[in-house]
């Protein structure tokens, strides 16, 4: 690799450090970095202690034979997933400055490929170190775990790149055919294993049949290259077995590497194209978070919306955010996906332990759904957070500041509340049991969401930042996220705690439910609306020239 590319790596590394130092030099940046550092150092110290210093008996280890058996299946699932669903058109991730400066500079294709691979591998080292600490219970030794994880991370990258190189080398149609053929090959392998398993099936238990397939010779030979990685990780000493597995894993990576260099003919154009697409997405993300990222339909809009009501200026502000929300179908998709993912655990637990979970499952599901929707306020940022580049326009509008604030908060509050009520209603209709939770959700979701989103916007206006960090060294952004979470918890404690306490006192004194609900509900309207004047003040003092983040 030419000296110039090493120099570029060095300069960029120094640049990140310089930016981090510059952040720390400001009061806000220093506070946020210290907060982030405090939590992160504590977490890292705990991990290091558990991984290296904790007495042998205190760390729970997963038996090596279990890891050796199931971990290769996870790797296989990744490979099949990449083959079936991986986007084969983006072999290597170049940034737009890299495309503009490096592609037209006197570097060969292979030099650029090496530059990118080296950069990715250097990033693998710290990632492997962290995973080695986290995954200490899987590994035989810390060092074998670290080494194996480095090999595994390399394998994952090389496999994806090699697959993408194939798609770039062979024409689109041929690639699709090839992919179909490869998938057919995988299906044939599974079918062969299935037949073997079927022949040797025990009774009619499908689980037993699957286990037979998994233990068949065909399947086991197919898994062998992936098992080398796992056996390297679970080795308990540097012996012949460890060296053999490690040599096998290194061999697999080398084969992939040779394949990548052999097929590097046409990756530059695909990389340039994907860099542009990625840059556009990142800009949208930085400008408006997921809300901005997913807005802006590619096709012309086929319907027209009615004029918004004025409501003293609140109407047009809310209307604009409403339109953005309606046209952000991906946001709803992300929300549904995360909710479904969060529900898998309780559902599996419910199936495994049916008797005990019958009563509690609806509560768990509904509770998790509510919590996820609260945690995902980043996704529903149809408010000031998605308007960071439009603050000038908002400030010049002939509308009082508090009405702008109400208009901005209205849509995310409505979206989140409607989503939560719909989710709770669905769980109630399917599983029952949660009538009281449904009633509380219908009544309380609006003020509570107003409180939470108000705090989000207040902290955003006080500590403005882009919704996607521009710099990997931007620790102050991570510190800010921690402050937002703490602020929400404190806000919840005050905004919800006071009405709940009043309700509890009323119930204790009167033993009357309607009075209790009234005693809790009406004060909650006041406490949860408290952020509105605070956000208004923060909006008024927001200095577009000084506070707009780069």
Partner 1 sequence: MSLVVEDFHKNYGDVVAVAGISFEVPPGTILGLVGPNGAGKTTTMRALAGILAPTRGHLAIDGHDLAGDAIAAKAALAYVPDDPKLFDQLTIWEHLQFIAAAYRVADWKPRAEELIATFELTEKRDSPCSDLSRGMRQKVAICCGYLHEPRVIMLDEPLTGLDPYGIRVIKESIRRRAAAGAAIMISSHLLNLVEDLCTALLILNKGRQVLHATMDELKAQVTADGRAESLEELFFRLTRDAPAAAVVPVSEV
Residues that bind partner 1 (CB under 8 A): 2-5, 7-8, 11-12, 14-16, 18-19, 95-97, 99-108, 172, 266, 268-269, 272, 279, 470-471, 550
* Residue 201 C-beta: closest distance to partner 1, Å: 49
CB of 94 to partner 1, least distance (A): 11
Beta carbon nearer to partner 1, 103 or 521:
103
Shortest Å, Cβ 236 to partner 1: 43
- In whole angstroms, the minimum distance from the beta carbon of 286 to partner 1 comes to 12
In the complex with partner 1, the residue whose CB is nearer, 168 or 260, is 168
| 3-class DSSP assignment, residue 116 | helix
Residue number, 119 or 368, with CB nearest to partner 1:
119
d(CA 411, CA 388): 17
Nearer Cβ to partner 1 (378/471):
471
CA 373, 377, 379, 380 torsion: positive or negative? positive
d(CA 282, CA 280): 5
Closest distance of CB 142 from partner 1, Å: 33
The number of residues making up the chain comes to: 550
Closer to partner 1 by Cβ: residue 11 or 509: 11
Of 89 and 425, nearer to partner 1 (C-beta) is 89
Give 250-257's long-range contacts (Cβ < 8 A, gap of 24+): 250/151, 252/155, 252/225, 252/228, 253/151, 253/154, 253/155, 253/158, 256/155, 256/158, 256/159, 256/161, 256/162, 257/117, 257/158
Closer by beta carbon to partner 1, 4 or else 262? 4
Distances, alpha carbon 272 to alpha carbons 89, 98, 260, 293, in Å: 11, 9, 18, 21
Q: How far is the CB of 17 from partner 1 (least distance, A)?
A: 9
Give me the least distance between CB of 123 and partner 1, in Å please: 16
Q: How many helices (H) and strands (E) does the chain have?
A: 22, 0
Q: Which is nearest to 414 in space by CA: 380, 386, 369, 456?
A: 380
Using CB atoms within 10 A of its CB, is residue 354 exposed (0-12), middle (13-18) or buried (19+)?
exposed
CB of 106 to partner 1, least distance (A): 4
For residue 223, what are the contacts with CB-CB under 8 A and spacing of at least 6? 72, 73, 76
Compute the least distance from the CB of residue 430 to partner 1, in Å.
Answer: 46
Mapped to the 3 state alphabet, what secondary structure does 451-489 carry? HHHHHHHHHHHHCCCCCCCCCCCCHHHHHHHHHHHHHHH
Of the two residues 118 and 483, which places its CB atom closer to partner 1 in the complex? 118
Q: Which is nearer to partner 1, 8 or 442 (CB)?
A: 8
Count of Cβ atoms closer than 10 Å to residue 33 Cβ:
22
């Amino acid at each position: 690799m030419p000296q110039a590319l090493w120099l570029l790596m060095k300069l960029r590394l120094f640049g990140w450090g310089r930016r981090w130092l510059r952040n720390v030099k400001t009061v806000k940046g220093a506070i946020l970095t210290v907060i982030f550092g405090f939590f992160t150092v504590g977490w890292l110290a705990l991990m290091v202690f558990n991984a290296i210093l904790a007495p042998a008996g205190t760390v729970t280890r997963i038996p090596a034979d279990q890891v050796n058996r199931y971990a290769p299946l996870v790797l296989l699932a990744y490979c099949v997933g990449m083959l079936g669903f991986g986007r084969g058109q983006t072999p290597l991730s170049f940034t737009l400055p890299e495309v503009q400066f490096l592609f037209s500079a006197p570097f060969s294709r292979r030099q650029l490929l090496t530059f990118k691979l080296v950069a990715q591998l250097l990033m693998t080292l710290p990632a492997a170190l962290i995973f080695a600490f986290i995954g200490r219970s899987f590994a035989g030794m810390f060092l074998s775990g670290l080494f194996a994880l480095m090999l595994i991370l390399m394998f994952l990258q090389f496999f994806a790149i090699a697959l993408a190189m194939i798609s770039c080398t062979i024409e689109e149609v041929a690639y699709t055919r090839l992919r179909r053929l490869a998938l057919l090959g995988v299906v044939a392998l599974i079918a062969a294993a299935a037949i073997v398993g079927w022949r040797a099936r025990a009774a009619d238990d499908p689980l037993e049949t699957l286990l037979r397939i998994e233990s068949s010779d065909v399947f086991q030979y197919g898994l062998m290259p992936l098992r080398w990685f796992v056996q390297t990780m679970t080795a308990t000493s540097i012996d012949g077995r460890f060296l053999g597995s490690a040599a096998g894993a290194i061999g697999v990576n080398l084969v992939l590497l040779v394949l990548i260099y052999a097929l590097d003919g046409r990756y530059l154009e695909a990389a340039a194209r994907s860099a542009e697409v990625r840059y556009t997405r990142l800009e949208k993300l930085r400008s408006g978070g997921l809300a901005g990222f997913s807005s802006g339909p590619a096709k012309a809009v086929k319907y027209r919306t009615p004029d918004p009501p004025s409501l003293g200026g609140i109407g047009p502000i809310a209307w604009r955010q409403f339109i953005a929300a309606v046209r952000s179908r991906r946001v709803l998709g992300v929300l549904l996906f995360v909710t479904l993912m969060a529900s898998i655990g309780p559902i599996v637990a419910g199936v495994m332990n049916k008797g005990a979970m019958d009563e509690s499952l609806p509560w768990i599901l509904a509770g998790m759904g509510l919590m996820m929707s609260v945690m995902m306020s980043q996704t529903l940022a149809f408010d000031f957070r998605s308007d960071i580049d439009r603050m000038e326009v908002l400030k010049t509008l002939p509308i009082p500041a508090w009405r702008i604030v109400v208009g901005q908060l209205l849509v995310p509050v409505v979206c989140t509340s409607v989503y939560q009520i719909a989710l709770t209603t669905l769980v109630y209709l399917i599983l029952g049991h949660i009538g009281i939770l449904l009633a509380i959700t219908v009544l309380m979701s609006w003020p509570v969401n107003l409180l939470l989103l108000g705090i989000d916007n207040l902290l955003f206006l006080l500590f403005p930042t882009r919704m996607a960090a521009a710099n990997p060294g931007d620790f102050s952004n991570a510190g800010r996220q921690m402050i937002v979470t703490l602020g929400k918890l404190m806000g919840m404690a005050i905004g919800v705690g006071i009405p709940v306490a009043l309700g509890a006192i009323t119930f204790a004194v009167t033993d009357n439910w309607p009075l209790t609900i009234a005693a809790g509900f009406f004060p909650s309207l006041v406490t949860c609306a408290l952020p509105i004047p605070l956000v208004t003040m923060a909006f008024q003092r927001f200095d577009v020239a000084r506070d707009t983040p780069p």
